[in-house]
């Protein structure tokens, strides 16, 4: 029989002045809920790592127009920001097989008088063969082209332009690499925070996620803890009634002066309180918050990735539910969670 791990649920009394409470929110490197916060800066219209141009431009233009810019001016500013943001972001870790394909495509094309492919395709082949850096925009175009051109590739017809052009762009290994790179960058954008230059010093994200089993291991053994939406609501009400918005910890109980909560909400889709982008999968009843980080040293740790999320600290009571998770189920649940986060993009 596979190892079974019991599940406990948090119990909060109905008395709003009860002893159970969240008395501190901690900035941590590895949040127990396995979701990172988002860090915002003064400039909300800079593109995030992995964000597509077609998603960034409307967001940026709308913001600029609301700030009083004319439409044409807004488009020009946003276009400039897009080009400048990704100008130096490039990669060359594509597989050797893609380079070999590009080189082979060049040789095959030379054998028939270079009659196949556009100039863009010939330049791309040279770049790939030499292992040059490719920007994210080029990687997306490479993926787009290879996805369309795959149906014309015939390995038995080495004089066909469909075959040669496909090889010039690196062929299937390049297609798979480009797809993987796009997902990798989008996944980072989905889970990680984005920090720009003129810091507004705001971190936002989930503090408690309803019905999410959280793994614990202590002197009592291994177990999971879950928080229902009703219990989270009671906790949040007590948190504010007791004025704990500025009680922030870091590094095992050190008080984080100069950090305070200024925004808080509980997800309730029926009331129109929806989760922010990147957290669409969380359950109703999950608690989100935003903190202003005025403390210089703590903000540096947010920016360098030392702190990635929130953890709540307090006094709770638990009751065994009778449910269990096997270790295999726990591993698979984490795999499915990661896959769903990627596919949301």
**260-312: pLDDT as tens digits:** 999 999 999 998 999 887 777 788 999 998 888 899 888 888 877 788 888 87
The tens digit of pLDDT for each residue in 46-83 reads: 666 556 777 778 878 877 777 677 777 777 777 766 76
Residues 6+ apart with CB under 8 A from 121: 165, 168, 169
pLDDT at 169: 96
139-171 in b/e burial notation, b at 16+ Cβ within 10 A? bbbbbebbeebeeebeeeeeebbebbbbbbbbb
The confidence score (pLDDT) of residue 98 equals 95
pTM above 0.85, yes or no: no
Question: Would you list the DSSP string of 205-236?
Answer: EEEE-TT--EEEEETTEEEEEE--HHHHHHHH
The radius of gyration computed from the CA coordinates of the chain, to the nearest angstrom, equals 25
Low-confidence ranges of the chain (pLDDT < 50): 1-2, 40-44, 87, 187-198, 328-332, 334-336, 338-345
What pLDDT is attached to residue 125?
95
Pairing of strands 259-266, 287-293: antiparallel
Residue of 295, 294, 266, 306 whose CA lies nearest to 282: 266
Q: Which two tokens stand for residue 117?
A: 């492919």
User: Are the beta carbons of 37 and 193 closer than 8 angstroms?
Assistant: yes
């Amino acid at each position: 029989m596979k190892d079974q791990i019991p599940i406990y649920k948090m119990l909060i009394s109905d008395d709003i002045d009860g002893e159970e409470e969240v008395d501190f929110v901690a900035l941590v490197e590895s949040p127990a809920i396995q979701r990172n916060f988002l860090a915002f800066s003064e400039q909300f219209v800079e593109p995030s790592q992995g964000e597509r141009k077609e998603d960034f431009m409307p967001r940026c233009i709308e913001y600029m127009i609301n700030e009083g810019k004319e439409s044409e001016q807004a488009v020009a500013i946003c276009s400039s920001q897009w080009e400048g943001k990704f100008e130096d972001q490039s990669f060359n870790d594509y597989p050797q097989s893609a380079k070999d394909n590009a080189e082979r495509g060049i040789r095959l094309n030379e054998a028939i008088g270079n009659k196949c492919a556009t100039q863009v395709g010939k330049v791309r082949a040279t770049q790939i063969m030499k292992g040059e850096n490719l920007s994210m925009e080029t990687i997306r175009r490479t993926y787009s082209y290879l996805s369309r051109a795959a149906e014309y590739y015939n390995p038995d017809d080495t004089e066909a332009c469909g075959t040669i052009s496909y090889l010039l762009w690196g062929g299937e290994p390049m297609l798979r690499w480009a797809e993987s790179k796009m997902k990798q960058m989008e996944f980072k954008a989905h889970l990680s925070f984005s920090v720009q230059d003129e810091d507004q010093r705001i971190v936002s994200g989930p503090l408690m996620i309803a019905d999410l089993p959280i793994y614990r291991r202590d002197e009592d053994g291994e177990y999971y803890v879950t928080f229902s939406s009703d219990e989270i609501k009671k906790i949040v009400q007590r948190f504010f009634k007791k004025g704990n918005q500025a009680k922030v910890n870091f590094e095992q109980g050190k008080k984080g002066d100069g950090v305070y909560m200024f925004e808080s909400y509980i997800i309730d889709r029926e009331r129109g309180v929806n989760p922010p982008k990147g957290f669409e999968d969380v359950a109703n009843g999950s608690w989100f918050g935003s903190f202003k980080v005025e403390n210089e040293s703590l903000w540096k740790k947010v920016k360098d990735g030392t702190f990635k999320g929130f953890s709540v600290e307090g006094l709770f009571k638990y009751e065994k539910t009778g449910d269990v998770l096997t270790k295999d189920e726990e591993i698979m649940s984490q795999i499915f969670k990661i896959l769903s986060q990627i596919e949301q993009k």
